[in-house]
Amino acid sequence: MKVVITGGTGFVGTGLVRKLHELGNQITILTRNPEKAKRLFPESIYPGVSVTAYKIGELTPLKTSLEGADAVINLAGEPISERWTTEYKEAILKSREGVTADLVAAISQLENKPETMISGSAIGYYGTSETATFDENSPAGEDFLAKVCQTWEMSAQKVRESGVRLVILRIGIVLGNGGALAKMIPPFKIYAGGPIGSGRQWFSWISREDLIDLIIYCVGHPEVSGTYNATAPNPVRMKELCQILGDVLGRPSWLPVPDFALELLLGEGAKVVLEGQQVLPSATLNTGFTYKYPTLKPALENIIDKM
């Protein structure tokens, strides 16, 4: 199978490329940083993985790479775990909506179009709440990240006009060797770990292994179409997350991180962590997908064992 990937050098994308390569697929990584991609996936170790340089607004490299592809997986986007200046908020939106719009435009011009497009989104679509429960049928929120996700998804939806099957995955906080967990573990190791903010906010997570498997599952099951929450079926509150992480690491979870400290670091972006949301993958479970790690402690134990 020929698969084209954006975001292939990111935390999820690198793992996805490796898994697809192990399964014998031909992969093209579309990236604005081809040097990094080639370092991560040298041809001598990853035959069948090619790299194409691409910048937003350039359709020619997209059309060349997408012609005759079986599937395109769109994971591009600037990290949201940075301080949200006005300029960075623009980059968050442009890196998602712009890449997606380019992919859709390029696909519409192809002779041989991909059968499937898997496009990322985020559970930020729903906004934040300490009390509400969200599933795939819940309405969108009103904050910045919710509006980004709505714009992002609307761009992806247009690929249906080209007869391409579309799966949108609203991705939760991804846990693996890196990402958010890499920032949480060091304080625990020096006995300074603890919940962020009130500890009551919801933490809707998914293991990186399960997310990668879910993406591949969606590619391989043509009956799967529409929007799905890419989260584990058992979200936890922040306090419980930190208690379990402390248990797995053999460290206490006693020193809360105050709201103001996170706000100093992330600015407006701190709201995502300080308020959170409880998201359930109702439609995802109905597809028949089976999670390796539906609960948090085994997921963390597996991750820590591999570090």
Q: pLDDT tens digit string along 179-216?
A: 878 877 887 777 667 777 888 999 999 999 999 999 99
- The H helix count followed by the E strand count for the chain is 13, 14
The pTM of this model reads: 0.95
Query: Of the candidates 76, 66, 51, 59, which has an alpha carbon nearest to the alpha carbon of residue 2?
Result: 66
Domains and their CATH numbers in the chain: 2-174+205-232+279-291 (3.40.50.720)
The length of the chain is: 307
What mean pLDDT value characterizes the chain? 92
Q: What is the pLDDT of residues 98-118, one digit of tens each?
A: 999 999 999 999 999 999 999
pLDDT at 270: 65
Confidence (pLDDT) at 268: 67
The angle that helices 208-220 and 11-22 make with each other, rounded to 10 degrees, is 50
Tokens encoding 209: 């292994």
278, two tokens: 């409880």
For range 256-280, the mean pLDDT: 71
Residue 265 tokens read as 């670091």
Q: Give the pLDDT of residue 189.
A: 76
Spell out the alpha helix ranges (H) of the chain.
Answer: 11-22, 34-40, 60-66, 86-93, 99-108, 144-157, 179-189, 208-220, 238-249, 259-266, 270-275, 282-286, 296-306
